[in-house]
Structure 1
């Protein structure tokens, strides 16, 4: 399942609009230092868990970091797990 994910820089999050209501999944981040994104938490509504939405959000954030030459801190457990399972992203870790 592919979702449209938008980067809402103003809110420091990547957001996926899902369902027919105002439901959304999100991956929030902070900017603790210049050139660093701290991926702090991922949220997916219960009805959409297990659909791959969290992985899509994480991959979008990692691609954004790579495109902008940013390093990441994986505070979010889901992000840590994803990076452990996808070693091609290890170079992004701060």
Structure 2
């Protein structure tokens, strides 16, 4: 299976909704963190990682990409998904990005 250093995160979507996506060779389904924008806030509403990708930090990499984009692009995040909410609890330095 692919080494975690070989992971590429793709961004899909537009101004109103989107996803951060990881596809790995040999794995049929993709990992994703989806979001919808409302009133200038990105609502992180779902994180999914296929069984074949679990235990490799894939979900954390998706959240890290969302956080990096928020810092770069200046939006805030509503962690509606339980995984993203947990990541915010574990990273109090992200509090300035929480809507």
Please show how residues 1-94 of structure 1 align to structure 2 within 5 Å.
Answer: 1-2=4-5, 3-10=7-14, 12-34=18-40, 36-94=41-99
After TM superposition, the score normalised by the length of structure 2 is 0.86
Higher relative contact order structure (alpha carbons within 8 Å, sequence separation ≥ 6)? 1
Please, which runs of 5 or more residues in structure 1 have no aligned partner?
none
Number of corresponding residues: 93
After TM superposition, the score normalised by the length of structure 1 is 0.90
RMSD of aligned Cα (Å): 1.4
CA drift of 1:47 comes to 1.6
| Inter-partner Cα distance in structure 1 for 2:43 and 2:83 | 13
| Inter-partner Cα distance in structure 2 for 1:21 and 1:77 | 24
